[in-house]
Structure 1
Amino acid sequence: MNTMRKLVAQLLLCVLGGGLLTACSSEEEMLQIPEGKGYVKLALNTDMGFQTKAVDESYYRNLENYMIDITNSEGVKVGTYTGTTIPTEMIELNNDTYSIKAYCGEDKAASTKTMYVEGIQNFDINSNQVTKVTVNCAPVCARVKVIYEGMEEYFTDWSATFNTKALDESSFVYKKDETDPLYLKVNKNEKISVNFSLTSTTGKRTTIDKTYELSPNEALTITVKPTIDSGNLGITIEINDQTNDIPIDIEIPSDWV
């Protein structure tokens, strides 16, 4: 009888021991990757520090406001997620070259209400491999602020009209009572044109054309104010390109583990 009890006890230990070994095995170790396929596991990190007071920081911190698209080499979307619907399990993909795009906000040529951030990264899926990719998102716009000082004494109306490549045939008029920053979609080192229009208290109207160079993720402050020189009314336009309080790089790591 004692011999039988010892045998049963040994069998139970073997079973329990085997179960513990299985439970401790990692998901990656247990995963059987089919031939011609690979697996990815996606996660987003939006712990970012915004440096601007011009937009609602919480909007860009909220995962629910992000969209993530995965596209294959033929341009077909194989996965679309929000920041909160990213699968926690492995994502199976065929061997191919893919592109992941993470984005937030509204993609507009010009806006005083919103900006747009985007990141695109290509990656490959190979047989029996797991790929790790990091997507770095940054604003596609430049931030411009026009400040009018002391205009009311000499002028009845004034405005600044902006033209960019993204605006195409249209333009954006930054009116005299506008106080919010303007977010302009621009290319790197793009030359934008600004037309300042002013109407004096005597009814005379004049325009001043200026050109400035801007790139995405840059900021520019333009200060317009009247001057009196020998009794003649003039205008000075001061430029400050050291006020880059637009968010700089927004890093959204996508950990494929």
Structure 2
Amino acid sequence: MSTTADQAATARPGTRPRVGPLALGLRQGRLEIRQFLRSRESVVFTMAFPVILILIFASIFRGDLGGGVSFTQYFVTGMIASGLVAVGFQNLAIQIPGERDRGVLKRLRGTPMPPWVYFAGKVIMVAAIALAETVLLLAVATLLFDLRLPDTAGRWFTFGWVSVLGVTACTLCGIAFSSLARTARGASATATPVALVLQFISGVFFVFTELPGWMQQVAALFPLKWMCQGLRSVFLPAQFGAQEAAGSFELGRVALVLAAWCLIGLLLCLRTFRWTPTPR
């Protein structure tokens, strides 16, 4: 007795078997990753920039913050979070307007492909690049600057959920923010300053508690500050929690704020995303 697949093939010669939703999403994800890797500028800026920063910071700041914690141990948390922002928020906020301006989104919208497949491809691409970038950054910092990796399963678990919530919030916000740029040419000028300002006020380049109080309050409104804080609980000794602005790492609040930004980003995507360019 022939199988169902054999019957379908013989019933309609020349037709292809129906592709399931999971296969559609994975196929689109592979396409997005290949397109990303073909853009050398995007690869260098998104993946190599955090590594370059940690090389510079670790070479300049060779002392420690007390308690045997080196500057590299502290600042690697900001570099990881900054890398997630770059691949999730900044990359999509620049890439999507370019596709919209070239008519790629309009053509995709006119095909039988469900709209969710396009976004699934972006999510898979961001996840793959974020994972590769984080592994590369940790490898460089460990091999060259004696970074101490998390030594317990609990810390690795915290590292996982902070990274997942953070990159999810950044991805959704990047998709939503992509609608602000009227043209592909203006996308970089719109997204890059936002990402750069958030890095300066969120403890990426400086010890967060040494920043002015008003700057700390502004940073607390956005996810990058909470991503850095959550990651500090992973890479720094527990006693360093007392040196945070609130006197602890506040992991519960970190989870709530990042989850809230995931919801905010999703709602903004649903309300603002455009498939066609804004009329000029």
Q: Same fold (TM over 0.5)?
A: no
Q: 1 or 2, which has the higher helix percentage? A: 2
Larger radius of gyration: 1
Q: 1 or 2, which has the higher strand percentage? A: 1
Q: Identify the structure with bigger relative contact order (alpha carbons < 8 Å, sequence gap 6+).
A: 2
- Please classify the TM superposition score into its range, dividing by the shorter chain length: under 0.3
